[in-house]
Amino acid sequence: MIPISIKVSLDLVKSLYAKFIDWDAEMIDYETGIPSHATNTAISEDLGQVEYIMTDKTGTLTENRMIFRRCCISGVFYGNESGDALKDMKLLNAVAGGSPDVVQFLTVMAICNTVVPIKSKTGAISYKAQSQDEDALVNAAAQLHMVYANKNANILEIRFNGSVIKYEVLEILEFTSDRKRMSVVVKDCQTGKIVLLSKGADEAILPYAFVGQQTRTFIEAVEQYAQLGLRTLCLACRELREDEYQEWSLMFKEASSTLVDREWRIAEACQRLEHDFEVLGVTAIEDRLQDGVPETIETLRKAGINFWMLTGDKQNTAIQIALSCNFISPEPKGQLLLIDGKTEDEVCRSLERVLLTMRITSSEPKDVAFVVDGWALEIALKHYRKAFTELAILSRTAICCRVTPSQKAQLVELLKSCDYRTLAIGDGGNDVRMIQQADIGVGISGREGLQAARAADYSIGKFRFLKRLILVHGRYSYNRTAFLSQYSFYKSLVICFIQIFFSFISGVSGTSLFNSVSLMAYNVFYTSVPVLVSVLDKDLSEGTIMQHPQILFYCQAGRLLNPSTFAGWFGRSLFHAIVVFVISIHAYAYEKSEMEELSMVALSGCIWLQAFVVALETNSFTILQHLAIWGNLVAFYVINWIFSAIPASGMYTIMFRLCRQPSYWITMSLIVAAGMGPVLALKYFRYTYRPSKINTLQQAERMGGPILTLGNIEPHPRPMEKEVVSPLQISQPKNRNPVYEPLLSDSPNSSRRSLGSGAPFDFFQSQSRLSSSYSRNCKDN
Amino acid sequence: MSSSTPSSSAGGVGSADSAAPRRNSKRPKYSKFTQQELPACKPILTPRWVISAFMLVSIVFIPIGVVSLFASRDVVEIIDRYETACVPDGYKNDKVTFIQSNLTKQCNRTLTVKKRMKKPIYVYYQLDNFYQNHRRYVKSRSDSQLKENSSWDDVSSCKPEDMSKDQPIVPCGLIAWSLFNDTYNFSLNDQQLAVNKKGISWKSDRDSKFGKDVFPQNFQNGSLKGGATLNLSIPLSEQEDLIVWMRTAALPTFRKLYGKIEQDLQPNDQIHVTLDNNYNTYSFNGKKKLVLSTTSWLGGKNDFLGIAYLTVGGLCFFLALSFTVVYLVKPRRLGDPSYLSWNRNPGGH
């Protein structure tokens, strides 16, 4: 009974949905010129039903374009006034004056890395870096006249203020996520001094400062920068004695060549050298949020979509980014609950405590989010899956930091197992597993290559297009598919019911009222064309949807395609079949009850009703819709006139005879009036006296009611659209997002209190305590 | 529609060197169709619109209904049910035996004209409870055989009336086999009333469905006798009773044209009908009726359309009226923001 035509029409319109995404001029990334692309054409309507969005952070929410913004060198803050240390006259003067602290700091910036400089023919130097952070640091150093000019085997060449300094690299202590720092051991070729240069996370550097150094200003700097959502690195150095280095070098070589537990041994060896630092300063690198991220997240959260941030980054950076992009609300409204612990018991206790808080606050209109790190997550997923699942269902927002790609996929899996429709969005290779695991995968074709975009169902250029992808394309697709599939059932049922009724007056012998040509053409031509143009139907304008994203709830809850709406269409098809059948057999009774004639009367009655049903259910008529609906009606007569002109066909002359009879046309208008009258009356009544939210918005939209001017989201400017923005413009503070700005003035206390109220421990301390034991735990297991 | 716009999915992402031209080629061409921005009219169901639609329907439908009803009432119809009356008293309880016997089947009926009947007066026979639309009955015919002499032996679809004495039957099949064979002779004031049996079938059927060179053959020769026999020397295209009969009816109650009386009949005229009651409808309790009817622009006497139009028109008027009353009593502003409280948290699962 499932009509074949539904499959064909659905496939046709689905590919058109996908094309609309490809064609959408508002979803082109004008910086790179890459349009959005739908790789998977089959799931456009699922986009409209998304309930959970799992997002990566770096490169997805942020631009993944690191820019050196501020620094703190031996207690002096640079770049605080202008927001750009490279333009700070104080720093420029210090560089020009050759202040030893600053020079040392710049040297670390320039050479403590794995960057390879490349000299082009014109003499300009460009850098090839694996990490965006190192690239930012080297470039910043170069702008401050500390140019990392050349690397020749182990000899580095640095030009500073016209003089060339050469260093010999003795050892590179590579970055590991356990140590959270990297170091180089270099030997100054002029003086022969051996120096250890390190850079790393604050918790990996500051505790190892030499006894007596005041690290207070640095801790303050790190905290201040983190509040601004900047990525911080601490730079440090230590002069090594020749014999100390030689001794260590032997040990390091031995560690490097062991076969068992090499990584552990190397880490231990590095630990031996990396202590008693002279902390030089703190750098702050900005990874700017992409344009429109806060608005996008706010709109989508209003649409009832829950956001989870899954990132490999560290906890406080993730929280800062989350705060700055409306992911979580600051203190009075929002609350952050922390799940941590390094043993099963601790995780269990913390999980239970969070769950309890969550249960209590779930009735309050409060934004409660939980934060979990990779280690606790591992334990929670392994041993307390049930409790964690409950937490996942209760919580609208979550931040998971320090998670591995497979954990990302596990989290998606967890939500999928609770029957939520999930969307995963990411940009890098580490997001591929999560993207493939989710119901819908969206890839951002960004700086980290196209891996994610290739694996995903949809690829977009910027995070902010997600809003349009879900609210406009997803929603329209869902609405259109809901109508189309139900209508396809309806039209097939009408014919089926008429055949069933007819069988009762043909001795239940199974005679077909309709001839085979009509039955074939009914599904292929007469009823499929009008409904195919419903791909252009828009119930609400895009602007209205953006202003009232809550309307997406109708799609998420499946309000437009569920058993009760289906029953409505079923009832309508039964009613229409009765109308067509009863009117046809009574109007064409006695001397007119010729088989072929009655069959065409009933069929054309169906076609007329279909045209009016589509017209009634269409919300916006474009020229194509008029053409398809009314043109199809004309085509029906033309096709049947052609068949009626063929002597060999069964219906020879039938249609000409019918069209000459006034009674035929009178019967048709009777069928239309009797069939559509009650439908129209019912629809009107529901529309006016029991309006759904969609109806209300439609009315408001068409009549210019006050709703639209209420506007709960201020129209957001899109400065990036018309021209390609040069990197320089980004640095201008006026380009900052309005939502980004208040956080600057937001005192550090506010967000710390927000953490503290849920989980009463000092965040940063626990973080550093945890991190040191974390690596050890990894080894133990 | 999609051919007018370039496909944007085709461009390869791999070739990095020609960035600038590729950028332009990948950018979708802007058109109102691709951006889903075709100008659209978005009607909504405002009370004014709906009430006037219903009002309009009622204003149009009620007069049409009245006119149709008058047209139907103008048609004069004389119906005479005769299948029981034409069975002699002794056989009332065993009609099937009577019809299958060799007794004389002649029967006399008298019809009284109530109202003036203008020519042409159509003579129909009406059968009730006769399922000409039964699946096996409908299929049991051979259109090619009826049309062309050359396919006289194409009787594959005619079972069970395909062959008789190992010879194909022309015309074959159950429909032809069961051809109606009651005959009527009309007389008015002892004068024969001519019944024109020419032109009672569809011209298109005579011209292209029934062959001029196809003659009946081996017809009604079987052991089980069906209906009428055919004159073997007249081609099928001129056997109009057969042609009329072969247009199967869709309903179990149907009338078929027997002939036309080309003469006006006055009120109180007594028409004597001498009929041969040959056709066996007794075995399935079918009724037989003789119908004399004039015609109107809408066809025969059928009140259905008129009554249905008046009903629908009346209901629409009633709906329009009640919607107006409801609208006046309980006006409701369309698009009122107070209906749009998002109180029920959309995300609250």
Q: Is the dihedral of CA B3, B9, B15, B20 positive or negative?
A: positive
Q: Is the Cβ of B157 closer than 8 Å to some Cβ of chain A?
A: no
Q: What is the pLDDT of residues B77-91, one digit of tens each?
A: 999 999 889 898 888
- Please state, in angstroms and rounded to a whole number, the distance separating the CA atoms of residues A322 and A307: 10
Question: Could you give the 3-state DSSP secondary structure of residue A668?
Answer: helix
Which residues of chain A are within 8 Å of residue B346 when distances are taken between CB atoms? 303-304, 550, 552-553, 556
- What number is the average pLDDT over the span A172-188? 84
Q: Is the Cβ of A506 closer than 8 Å to some Cβ of chain B?
A: yes
- Please state, in angstroms and rounded to a whole number, the distance separating the CA atoms of residues B64 and A500: 32
Q: Is the Cβ of B10 closer than 8 Å to some Cβ of chain A?
A: no
Of the partner residues B5, B13, B134, the one whose CB lies closest to the CB of residue A450 = B13
DSSP A182-196: EEEEEEETTT--EEE
The reply, when asked if residue A402 is annotated as ligand binding, is yes
Q: What is the pLDDT of residues A345-394, one digit of tens each?
A: 888 888 888 888 888 876 666 778 888 888 888 888 888 888 888 888 88
Rounded to two decimals, the pTM is 0.81
Q: What is the pLDDT of residues A268-326, one digit of tens each?
A: 888 888 888 889 899 988 888 888 888 999 899 888 899 999 987 777 778 888 888 88
Picking from A361, A419, A371, A363, the residue whose alpha carbon sits closest to that of residue A393 is A419
Q: Which of A73-87, A358-372, A575-589, A742-756 has the highest mean pLDDT?
A: A575-589
Picking from A698, A660, A388, the residue whose alpha carbon sits closest to that of residue B43 is A698
Q: What is the mean pLDDT of chain B?
A: 85
Find the angle CA(B126)-CA(B128)-CA(B133) to the nearest 5 degrees: 100
Two structure tokens written together for B296? 């109107």
Residue A444 pairs in a beta bridge with A460
Bridge-based pairing state of the strands A52-55 and A306-310: parallel
- Please state, in angstroms and rounded to a whole number, the distance separating the CA atoms of residues A351 and A344: 10
The reply, when asked if residue A734 is annotated as ligand binding, is no
* pLDDT at site A120: 83
Chain B residue closest to A666 (CA)?
A: B305
> Which class for B189: exposed (0-12), middle (13-18), buried (19 or more C-beta within 10 A)?
exposed
Instruction: For residue A213, name the pLDDT band (cuts at 50, 70, 90).
Output: confident
Q: Is the dihedral of CA B258, B263, B264, B269 positive or negative?
A: negative
C-alpha distances (whole Å) from A743 to each of A223, A331, A747 are: 13, 12, 8
* pLDDT at site A779: 36
B327 phi and psi angles, rounded to 5 deg: -65, -40
* pLDDT at site A113: 87
Q: CB distance A687–B332 less than 8 Å?
A: no
Mutate which: B25, B30, B33, B36, vs A, most A CBs within 10 A: B36
Instruction: For residue B19, name the pLDDT band (cuts at 50, 70, 90).
Output: very low
- Please state, in angstroms and rounded to a whole number, the distance separating the CA atoms of residues A744 and B268: 108
Instruction: Flag the least confident range among A238-242, B220-224, B229-233.
Output: B220-224
Q: CB distance A594–B43 less than 8 Å?
A: no
- Please state, in angstroms and rounded to a whole number, the distance separating the CA atoms of residues A52 and A42: 19
Q: What is the pLDDT of residues A482-530, one digit of tens each?
A: 999 999 999 999 999 999 999 999 988 989 999 888 888 888 888 888 8
> Which class for B153: exposed (0-12), middle (13-18), buried (19 or more C-beta within 10 A)?
middle
Picking from A278, A294, A166, A303, the residue whose alpha carbon sits closest to that of residue A229 is A294
Instruction: Flag the least confident range among A61-75, A730-744, B247-261.
Output: A730-744
* pLDDT at site A144: 87
- Please state, in angstroms and rounded to a whole number, the distance separating the CA atoms of residues A464 and A294: 9
- Please state, in angstroms and rounded to a whole number, the distance separating the CA atoms of residues A37 and A24: 9
pLDDT at B248 over 90: yes
* pLDDT at site B27: 56
The reply, when asked if residue A175 is annotated as ligand binding, is yes
Query: CB of A679 within 8 A of CB of A613?
Result: yes
Instruction: Return the residue matching tokens 């609405």.
Output: A479
Chain A (550-579) residues lying within 8 Å, Cβ to Cβ, of chain B: 550, 552-553, 556
Find the angle CA(B97)-CA(B99)-CA(B104) to the nearest 5 degrees: 115
Q: CB distance B27–A667 less than 8 Å?
A: no
The reply, when asked if residue A408 is annotated as ligand binding, is yes
Give residue A92's region: left, alpha or beta (phi > 0; psi -120 to 50). alpha
Instruction: For residue A738, name the pLDDT band (cuts at 50, 70, 90).
Output: very low
Residues near A511 by beta carbon (within 8 Å), at least 6 away in sequence: A502, A503, B133, B134, B135, B138
Instruction: Flag the least confident range among A200-204, A462-466, A638-642.
Output: A200-204
* pLDDT at site B6: 38
* pLDDT at site A359: 82
Q: Which of A102-111, A493-502, A528-537 has the highest mean pLDDT?
A: A493-502
Q: What is the pLDDT of residues B284-295, one digit of tens each?
A: 999 999 999 999
Query: CB of B179 within 8 A of CB of B227?
Result: yes
Query: CB of B214 within 8 A of CB of B242?
Result: no
For residue B113, the distance in angstroms to the closest alpha carbon of chain A comes to 21
- Please state, in angstroms and rounded to a whole number, the distance separating the CA atoms of residues B219 and B172: 8
Q: Is the Cβ of A513 closer than 8 Å to some Cβ of chain B?
A: yes
With residues binned 3-state (H G I as helix, E B as strand, rest as coil), the percentages for chain B, rounded to 5, are 35, 20, 50
Residues near A107 by beta carbon (within 8 Å), at least 6 away in sequence: A146, A158, A197
For residue B168, the distance in angstroms to the closest alpha carbon of chain A comes to 23
Instruction: For residue A719, name the pLDDT band (cuts at 50, 70, 90).
Output: very low
Q: CB distance B346–A556 less than 8 Å?
A: yes
Chain B (256-315) residues lying within 8 Å, Cβ to Cβ, of chain A: 256-257, 297-300, 302, 304-305, 308-309, 312, 315
Q: Compute the CA torsion angle A202, A208, A214, A217 (nearest 10 deg).
A: 0
Chain B residue closest to A39 (CA)?
A: B9
* pLDDT at site B29: 67
Distance between start and end Cα atoms, chain B: 42
Picking from A667, A669, A685, the residue whose alpha carbon sits closest to that of residue B56 is A669
C-alpha distances (whole Å) from A749 to each of A475, A752, A763, B11, B155 are: 41, 5, 12, 52, 99
Chain B residue closest to A553 (CA)?
A: B346
- Please state, in angstroms and rounded to a whole number, the distance separating the CA atoms of residues A699 and A707: 10
Instruction: Flag the least confident range among A301-305, A760-764, B16-20.
Output: A760-764
C-alpha distances (whole Å) from A404 to each of A58, A306, A370, A375, A736 are: 14, 21, 18, 10, 31
Q: What is the pLDDT of residues A549-598, one digit of tens each?
A: 988 888 888 888 899 999 999 999 999 999 999 999 999 998 888 999 99
Q: CB distance A20–B13 less than 8 Å?
A: no
Distance of CA B137 to the CA centre of its chain: 17
Whether the ω angle into residue A365 lies within 30 degrees of 0, i.e. cis, is no
Distance between start and end Cα atoms, chain A: 59
Picking from B29, B148, B134, the residue whose alpha carbon sits closest to that of residue A503 is B134
Q: CB distance B250–A587 less than 8 Å?
A: no
Which residues of chain B are within 8 Å of residue A667 when distances are taken between CB atoms? 305
C-alpha distances (whole Å) from A297 to each of A76, A203, A406, A409, A474 are: 37, 31, 25, 22, 16
Q: What percent of chain B has pLDDT over 90?
A: 52
- What number is the average pLDDT over the span B159-163? 84
Instruction: Return the residue matching tokens 């060339």.
Output: A164
Instruction: Flag the least confident range among A223-227, A537-541, A576-580, B56-60.
Output: A223-227
Q: Is the Cβ of B13 closer than 8 Å to some Cβ of chain A?
A: yes
Question: Between A111 and A723, where is the model more confident?
Answer: A111
Q: What is the pLDDT of residues B20-53, one digit of tens each?
A: 334 444 555 678 888 888 888 888 888 899 999 9
Chain A (583-642) residues lying within 8 Å, Cβ to Cβ, of chain B: 583, 585-595, 597-599, 619-625
Bridge-based pairing state of the strands A334-339 and A367-373: parallel
- Please state, in angstroms and rounded to a whole number, the distance separating the CA atoms of residues A408 and A381: 12
Over its C-alpha atoms, chain A yields an Rg (Å, rounded) of 34
- Neighbouring CB atoms inside 10 A of B131's CB total 22
Question: Between A597 and B337, where is the model more confident?
Answer: A597
Residue type for position A168: E
DSSP A212-262: T---HHHHHHHHHHHHTT-EEEEEEEEEE-HHHHHHHHHHHHHHHH-SSSH
* pLDDT at site A715: 38
- What number is the average pLDDT over the span A714-729? 35
Instruction: For residue A201, name the pLDDT band (cuts at 50, 70, 90).
Output: confident
Instruction: Return the residue matching tokens 């500051």.
Output: A206
The reply, when asked if residue A431 is annotated as ligand binding, is yes
* pLDDT at site A583: 96
- Please state, in angstroms and rounded to a whole number, the distance separating the CA atoms of residues A296 and A463: 8
The reply, when asked if residue A39 is annotated as ligand binding, is no
Catalogue all structural domains in chain A, each as residue range(s) with its CATH number: 34-61+289-470 (3.40.50.1000), 65-288 (3.40.1110.10), 473-703 (no CATH)
Q: What is the pLDDT of residues A659-700, one digit of tens each?
A: 999 999 999 999 999 999 999 999 999 988 888 888 888 888
> Which class for B12: exposed (0-12), middle (13-18), buried (19 or more C-beta within 10 A)?
exposed
Chain A residue closest to B300 (CA)?
A: A591
- What number is the average pLDDT over the span A52-66? 86
Question: Could you give the 3-state DSSP secondary structure of residue A180?
Answer: coil
Q: Indicate which residues of A carry an active-site annotation.
A: 56
pLDDT at A215 over 80: yes
